[in-house]
Structure 1
């Protein structure tokens, strides 16, 4: 009997509506860690059912045919997700420029290759959707994500913005945009 390779049970696929609860749980877990330093404790949603329903709607009825949600899996367990769509920035061309609008891994599943597989699948998806360039906004202080993307060949393009997360101007998050050419 041959020994199966350690990568046999990991994959990436387009998300299904049934993945909504797993994506929501993972997103809220990851956000608690990712935004701990930039957001007050009560600012993040905590109701998984509400977030899952929003995911279910967007997975069932995307606003644009090129809005894609990908999930990284270990066996049948969601370990991360990525979103790709036409870029919406005023200086971007929504036909040529795709956006990696989210790349989130379960904090407990980092450094196992899921992020690399997910990023490659997102790039392949944007290429299949005929985008020739991809952009991604990252929190300026998120050295881990920025380092991961620059290690994969992405680079800052000089664009930056501040998001007003609570609408009052008290919780501002500075972001920088990275980009890469798509083959």
Structure 2
């Protein structure tokens, strides 16, 4: 296997990040999101959004590389208070120190090579150094690959769910929560 690494993303990575996002969503979420939603994703708009996030956004973005290839990315930062609230709307005592992993994607052809774990591990270290005490993320309930990945580092559903409108079709997501002191286990 070629040398694998994780580094901070820069504006020049926006096009590859967008390509990876669209490729991964169209593959991994083909059974989760309506076909017309996936077909309607605009590569130029997605690249523009990532370029903006990389230059002006509040989140940190890391990219995984294998050899010369950019193969995945992770975006995370401190969670907005609304994201940390329990199902009844109450804020947890640690709301100010909860990090939100908003996106963690590895292009499917580069999967099962440790890139997701390296990305999440590097991001967890970065967030901990900034004062975060635990992490959360939202995962489509039907996405068993992602829930299994997060379970391998000790992140579990915390009982909070939300339903999004995915092109006129409800998309139920589970909120997973766990320590930033990650312990990777083989499943």
TM-score > 0.5, shorter chain as reference? yes
- Structure with bigger helix share is 2
Which position in structure 1 is the counterpart of 2:88?
A: none
Which position in structure 1 is the counterpart of 2:122?
A: 121
Task: Select 1:58's aligned residue among 49, 53, 62.
Answer: 53
Task: Select 1:22's aligned residue among 16, 24, 27.
Answer: 16
How far is 1:94 from its partner? 5.0
Which position in structure 2 is the counterpart of 1:3?
A: none
Tell me how large the CA RMSD over aligned residues is: 1.6
TM-score for both structures, normalised by structure 1: 0.87
Gaps of 5+ in 1: 1-5
**Alignment length (residue pairs):** 171
Which position in structure 2 is the counterpart of 1:69?
A: 61
The residue correspondences of 1:4-153 to structure 2 (distance < 5 A) are 6=1, 9-44=3-38, 45-62=40-57, 64=58, 67-88=59-80, 89=83, 91=85, 95-153=96-154
CA distance in 1, matches of 2:73, 2:96: 23
TM-score for both structures, normalised by structure 2: 0.85
Gaps of 5+ in 2: 86-90, 182-187
CA distance in 2, matches of 1:46, 1:40: 11
Q: Give 3-state SS (helix, strand or coil) of 1:136's partner.
A: strand
Task: Give yes or no for contact 2:64–2:72 (8 Å, CA) kept in 1.
Answer: yes
Deviation readout 1:47-85 (Å, 9 max, x if unpaired): 3222111111110111x3xx1011001123110011111
Task: Give yes or no for contact 2:84–2:95 (8 Å, CA) kept in 1.
Answer: no
Task: Give yes or no for contact 1:38–1:171 (8 Å, CA) kept in 2.
Answer: no
Please list every run of at least 4 consecutive aligned residues from structure 1 whose deviation after the TM superposition is greater than 6 angstroms. none
Which position in structure 1 is the counterpart of 2:171?
A: 173
Q: Give 3-state SS (helix, strand or coil) of 1:36's partner.
A: coil
How far is 1:14 from its partner? 1.0
Q: Give 3-state SS (helix, strand or coil) of 2:119's partner.
A: helix
